Every structure is written in structure tokens, then in C-alpha cells.
Amino acid sequence: KIVVFVERLLYHRKDLDGQHVLVTAGPTREPLDPVRFLSNYSSGKMGYALAQEARDRGAQVTLVSGPTRLAPLEGVNLTLVETAQEMFNAVKAVFPLVDIVIKAAAVADFRPCHKAQEKIKKDQTGLVLELERTDDILGYLGEHKDKQILVGFAAETGETITHAREKLARKNLDLIVANDITVEGAGFGVDTNVATLLFKDGTFLTLPRMTKNELACKVIDGIVKLLKFQQGG
Amino acid sequence: KIVVFVERLLYHRKDLDGQHVLVTAGPTREPLDPVRFLSNYSSGKMGYALAQEARDRGAQVTLVSGPTRLAPLEGVNLTLVETAQEMFNAVKAVFPLVDIVIKAAAVADFRPCHKAQEKIKKDQTGLVLELERTDDILGYLGEHKDKQILVGFAAETGETITHAREKLARKNLDLIVANDITVEGAGFGVDTNVATLLFKDGTFLTLPRMTKNELACKVIDGIVKLLKFQQGG
């Protein structure tokens, strides 16, 4: 226990001191009507773990979060949002001010084309719901980034590394955290994850199953490496 | 404060002693694929308040709950479910054993016809989602009820009383709690509600805005009245 504590003290070497980090977390909710919505199983745990780790290592942290069961983090600026559109607006507002963006939120890709003003009645035996794409937040950030380090996630079901590598290039990311959510102990709701970090220079780091706090630490390590490279260090 | 405490002691006259009450609470989640689902804004607060009140007044309580942020209640049997189908199975299993059913859950009326085994890719600009009706749990209970007192909810957006009265008859309920979720301080998420209790004999009780705990108390009062009537008291 003492060893862990001392390691933690040594470890927290404030290597994000002076950096402003934007973390997005949780799901979004896309309303069909005043009662119903489309969402996903994201618990927000990975994003909150990243925000906490970044804070502990000296960063100024802004967390933009969809609806979760998690408590606000002390010392972290929190903006709560519901929809993908609200998430996009909140991210765009703070993006020019930050050095690092970690997009851990599971933003809805699709939303209902129309939101009914009244609750949809259930007279009919079925219903056809037309969905449209939401704005591509990560795509926007990749296009508009200046000096910012951009970190994304790829939660996949099969062919994880291929999909993630393709996403890293397409979205102009610096680092992507890929995980296969069908693997036991990975993905939504659980406290652990099994992930591979893929860097834009083609290097990668395959990690064993670990807690989301431990993975957050590895991701921040990766970001610090990128920062040093950027600074020619 | 002393007055409130004494009132509470007097009030808790254990008038549900010997009764077994089934309460359902919260939303359900209907998956589209391993990541996405359809749900609704129910917080579960109304159902949990009812379970707590029934317990305090001497009942044996079984609570079947969808996913909520609420802590389990001491002294209440809790069954956690996700989908409408799981909710239906859990309710059917316990229904023959209970005296009173309070269906406060906001069970999904529609679910995707097919659940994709893999995460739906977002290549396409849009998506058409075909939905089908879920089983009508309240309808089933109304058809199969023996001596059970059956209490339902009607969360409406406009023409609340008309819709609720029609539902009371169609579902063979003994009591329905009607509220217009567009009224301020009513409906999902918030801690208060504005409701009207409609009894099967045509009488009704329109209540002012009150906390969900207070409303739970009024609903249990209504049930006790029905019990007394049933027992010819």
C-alpha cells in the first residue's frame, strides 16, 4: 500500500502543467418526441477517468458531458449537455482555447429527422422512424485544428484495429484508443477496458485488460509523448 | 418539525399490512444494435416513491425497475430489468402472488423490429428504423387480474383527462394517475408532479403540484379506499 502511494506521488509529476485539456464524455440523447429518445450505453466512466487524470497531472480541464450517473469532479469545469447538437456547440465554443482534446463521448451518429411536438400515440402496430446523421464533431475538430493534439476513440464490434487506423487517418487525429466492445471486460458500463493505442506515426501499444483509471493514465502518457515530440523534446 | 414527525407517526397507520404490492418503475431500453437503444426520460422517482410509501405503510413490496440512477430501497425486493420483454417476464412471474399492482414504469411502446448483431456503421447519410409494438403489460394484467387492484399511469401531452379515462376503461384498471407532462413541475426527471386520480367508479381527485413522495402518499390513500370498498368496509 505504501509502495502504491509513493508510486502515485512520484507518478503525478504534473507533466500536463500549463495545458488546457478538453474532455468529452458520456452519451447524447436524441429526442423522437417529448418522451422518447435514442441513446447509447456509454456510462461516461472513461471520459471522467481521463478528466480526473488530466487534472491530477496539472492540466486545466474542461469536461463536456452528456447525461451520466457520475458526480461532478472537483476542480474540473463541467458543461452538461443532452443532444449531439448541444455537445457540438459546447465543444466548438471552447476548442480554440485548448491545447488537447480527448473525445471520449459516445455522441449519437443518428438522430430522428423530426421531433414530434406531442407524444407519439401507440395506436399503430408499427412505426417507421427516419434518422439523419448528426454533425461530425471529431471531423470538424480534425479539419479546424491548429496546434491542438486530438485524441479519439473507436468502439468497434470486430475488425477493431483496421477500423481504428482508418478513422485515425480520416479524422486527422494524433492518437486513437481502439477497443472491441464485444470483448469481456471492455466497453460500456463496466469498470475495465481492453484497448490498443494507435499513434499517427504508425506506432501502437496494445494493452492488457485494466481499469478505466489505469487506461486513462496510459492515454495521458501517450499524450505527454506527443507533446514532447511537438515541442521537439 | 415535531408536528411533522408526530403526524408522520400517526399517519403511518400500517394500512397496507398483510398486502403484497408490486410496483414497476423507470424506463426500459430497447436495443437497435450492441451500442444504441431507444428509451424515454423516466427517472424512476415516482415508482420508487410509491414502493417506499407502500413499504412504510406495512406492505410487502416487490419493485421491478428499469435502469435508473436511484439506490435500491431497504426492505423492498428489487428486480432489475432492461427491456420491455424482461419487464413483462418479471411482472408475469410475480403477478399471481400479489394483491396490488402499481404500474409506474414507462415501458417502451415500440422497439426496433431487428437488433443488429454488429454496431450499425454510419457510412450512410440516413437510416430508416422499423419499430414494432412491445407487449402490452398493463393490458395483460387487466385481462388476467383476479382479485388484484390494478393502478396505472397516463403521462400525456394534452387532453390528459380524456385520454386517461379512456385508458382506465380499456385496460380494466381500478385507478389511474393522470398527468400532463408539459405542465411545469410535472412529469419526467423533476421531483414534483401535478396529477389527477381517476377511479373506476367515475370519481376523481385533482391534486395541486406536490412532491412525488406526497403524490405517492395520495395514491396509496386511494388504493386503501379501494381495498376497503373491496372488503365491503
What does each of the 233 residues of chain B score in pLDDT, given as a tens digit?
666 666 666 666 799 999 999 999 999 999 999 899 999 999 999 999 999 999 999 999 999 999 999 999 999 999 999 999 999 999 999 999 999 999 999 999 999 999 888 888 777 778 899 999 999 999 999 999 999 999 999 988 788 899 999 999 999 999 999 988 888 877 777 888 899 999 999 999 999 999 999 999 999 999 999 999 888 75
Give the residue from B29, B119, B33, B115 showing the smallest Cα distance to A180.
B119
Specify if B122 maps to a domain. Answer: no
Q: Helices B212-230 and B45-56: crossing angle, nearest 10°?
A: 50
Specify if B157 maps to a domain. Answer: yes
Q: Would the CB atoms of B108 and A36 count as touching at under 8 Å?
A: yes
Specify if A117 maps to a domain. Answer: no
ipTM of the complex in this document: 0.87
Residues in chain B: 233
Chain B contact for A116 (CB, 8 A cutoff): no
CATH code at position B173: 3.40.50.10300
Tell me if residue B104 falls in helix, strand or coil. coil
With residues binned 3-state (H G I as helix, E B as strand, rest as coil), the percentages for chain B, rounded to 5, are 30, 30, 40
Nearest-Cα distance to chain B for A38, in Å, is 5
pLDDT band at A167 (very low <50, low <70, confident <90, very high): very high
Specify if B146 maps to a domain. Answer: yes
Chain A contact for B38 (CB, 8 A cutoff): yes
Contacts of B122 in chain A (CB under 8 A): 109-110, 133
Residue A127 has pLDDT above 70, yes or no: yes
Give the residue from B152, B180, B179 showing the smallest Cα distance to B167.
B152
Chain B contact for A206 (CB, 8 A cutoff): no
Residue A188 has pLDDT above 80, yes or no: no
Give the range of the structural domain holding residue A180, as residue numbers without chain letter: 15-111+130-230
Sign of the CA dihedral running A68, A137, B29, A179: negative
Taking CA–CA distances from A69, the nearest residue in chain B reads B69
Count of domains observed in chain A: 1
Nearest-Cα distance to chain B for A42, in Å, is 8
Nearest-Cα distance to chain A for B32, in Å, is 9
In this predicted structure, which of A122-131, A195-204, B164-173, B175-184 has the lowest mean pLDDT? A122-131
Cell (9 digits) for A94: 471552447
- How many contacts, defined by CB atoms under 8 Å, are there between A and B? 96
> Which of A29, A30, A80, A119 to mutate against chain B (most B CBs within 10 Å)?
A119
Contact between residue B103 and residue B138 where contact means Cβ atoms under 8 Å apart: yes
Nearest-Cα distance to chain B for A15, in Å, is 35
Sign of the CA dihedral running A51, A53, A54, A58: positive
B127 → closest Cβ in A34, A127, A131: A131
Specify if A8 maps to a domain. Answer: no
- What are the pLDDT digits (tens) for A40-54? 999 999 999 999 999
DSSP class of residue B119 equals: P
Specify if B83 maps to a domain. Answer: yes
Specify if A1 maps to a domain. Answer: no
Contacts of A117 in chain B (CB under 8 A): 157
Tell me if residue A51 falls in helix, strand or coil. helix
pLDDT band at A177 (very low <50, low <70, confident <90, very high): very high
- What are the pLDDT digits (tens) for A133-142? 999 999 999 9
B40 is catalytic: yes
Contact between residue B199 and residue B221 where contact means Cβ atoms under 8 Å apart: no
Specify if A136 maps to a domain. Answer: yes
Q: Would the CB atoms of B37 and A39 count as touching at under 8 Å?
A: yes
